[in-house]
Structure 1
């Protein structure tokens, strides 16, 4: 599932493949930009911003993309078979003489003026992996709505950018609180620890192909995706229930023994001992 670390790594790979090179192939497969032709222009850089990707192109243009749940960018060498999915899932192709970048299942693809980038990313809070990271401002953003459940607040990219559902669950486990505990009920020392942990985890995982939050061999995550399996700390069955993020419900995992605070009933048939 793409989160801030995945997007950062994707941006680095795209930058390495395209930056400083002239586009010899340009194909944007969305109706609005079907006639746009970027060939002959040089790719200047590829920059991540939270979960957004900004591919800046000569002439004051930026190709803005967002991976959402299952989008991806794949890099191919000349003659290499494209294997990221069936052809109808391709939304963008950017090619140079050396490499071709293919965007699959991109729910957001927009060509805009570089001067207008703030229109698509200006709402974001401090980026955990960006040069603008400011833990004090991120904490202040979270505390502006003290009655909001912590899990919802962490997913709100206006507070801080880069955390998705996996990190939400893992951070709450490491703090020992449920995602339904309100922000205002989080003790001050844990609130400060939350942001330090978030920065540490995303930074540690941005170069890894497989995300890890534990130090246990063979176990990558503490609770996410582990419903009905024993907690790695106490052995209690991990539970799962839905929690909204302001747009839709998401599966949320927690240990009822290690994590304190309110929680709904688990999904029927899931998360019980």
Structure 2
């Protein structure tokens, strides 16, 4: 599932291509919206909220999409649209077309009712208003279920919006916390939330998630995707196991020496 920084960048590129121009074409390739026509409506803005993208158009309407596991947006010059069954939404003006591939969710909302789709989200790590107050709210929300494993809590978008499986693993490694540690036993939750924000902020304008500071291929991550390989700090073998999340079990990576278990794996 794309992380919050990937979604932020997709929304920015949609905004740059579409905002301030009337739509010359809209093609919703989902059954319930197949007859929807937004031609002639100006695009007001495109923005991200956590892992959701909202494209607001004139007339008080919002196109709401979510990439889920495999979705992506591609911006191309205006022209013939590729013949590809994976394209679920086309939004185009006289200069650009935005192609939504394998989008997990496509819906049309009244802008005044966006909260029905995104009101449940916790503070957005890449939101324009990020600061001390939303960070404190995130810490409070994470602490509301003290017995919950921190690796599960970090993926709950209703607590803190933007962290995905890659950042979960990397944040916990950098903080020296085992993924199965109960939230109540995590030292310095505010520092963990701050680290999450800084990692996403550092990566939001580029492709790929670099948490080690090393851009060389295969050197980008501390533990994510490195099961069986030596820890970059201590040399112990990185481990992996399934861990619950609000969207089903996800694979978790950790170093058993740098992140000693509480009573878990």
Give the TM bin, normalised by the shorter chain: over 0.9
TM-score by length of 1: 0.92
Structure-1 residue corresponding to 2:147: 147
* Count of aligned residue pairs for this structure pair: 260
Structure-2 residue corresponding to 1:31: 31
| Secondary structure of the corresponding residue to residue 107 of structure 2 | strand
Structure-1 residue corresponding to 2:102: 105
User: Are 1:126 and 1:132, in contact at CA under 8 Å, matched by a contact in 2?
Assistant: no
Structure-1 residue corresponding to 2:2: 2
Structure-2 residue corresponding to 1:171: 171
Alpha-carbon shift at residue 79 of structure 1 (Å): 4.0
Alpha-carbon shift at residue 214 of structure 1 (Å): 0.5
| Secondary structure of the corresponding residue to residue 8 of structure 2 | helix
Structure-2 residue corresponding to 1:262: 262
Structure-1 residue corresponding to 2:203: 205
The CA distance in 2 between the partners of 1:263 and 1:17, in whole Å, is 51
Comparing 232-241 and 93-102, the one that deviates more: 232-241
TM-score by length of 2: 0.94
Alpha-carbon shift at residue 215 of structure 1 (Å): 1.9
Alpha-carbon shift at residue 87 of structure 1 (Å): 1.3
Structure-2 residue corresponding to 1:67: 67
The CA distance in 2 between the partners of 1:90 and 1:26, in whole Å, is 12
| Secondary structure of the corresponding residue to residue 5 of structure 1 | helix
Instruction: Report Cα offsets for 1:96-145 as digits up to 9, x if no partner.
Output: 11000000101110001001100000001110010343111100101111
Instruction: Report Cα offsets for 1:28-63 as digits up to 9, x if no partner.
Output: 000000000011111110010000000001110000
Q: Does 1:18 align with 2:15?
A: no
User: Are 2:212 and 2:221, in contact at CA under 8 Å, matched by a contact in 1?
Assistant: yes
The CA distance in 2 between the partners of 1:248 and 1:36, in whole Å, is 33
Matches within 5 A, 1:175-194: 175-187=175-187, 190-194=188-192
Structure-2 residue corresponding to 1:88: 85
Alpha-carbon shift at residue 260 of structure 1 (Å): 2.0
Matches within 5 A, 1:125-144: 125-133=122-130, 134-144=134-144
* Residues 1:107 and 1:263: Cα distance change in structure 2 (over 3 Å): farther
User: Are 1:178 and 1:263, in contact at CA under 8 Å, matched by a contact in 2?
Assistant: no
Deviating 4+ runs (over 6 angstroms): none
Instruction: Report Cα offsets for 1:152-206 as digits up to 9, x if no partner.
Output: 111111111111111111000001011110100112xx31210111111010000
Comparing 213-222 and 168-177, the one that deviates more: 213-222
Question: How big is the alpha-carbon RMSD for the aligned residues of Structure 1 and Structure 2?
Answer: 1.4
Flag structure 1 segments of 5+ consecutive residues without an equivalent.
266-273
User: Are 2:72 and 2:103, in contact at CA under 8 Å, matched by a contact in 1?
Assistant: yes
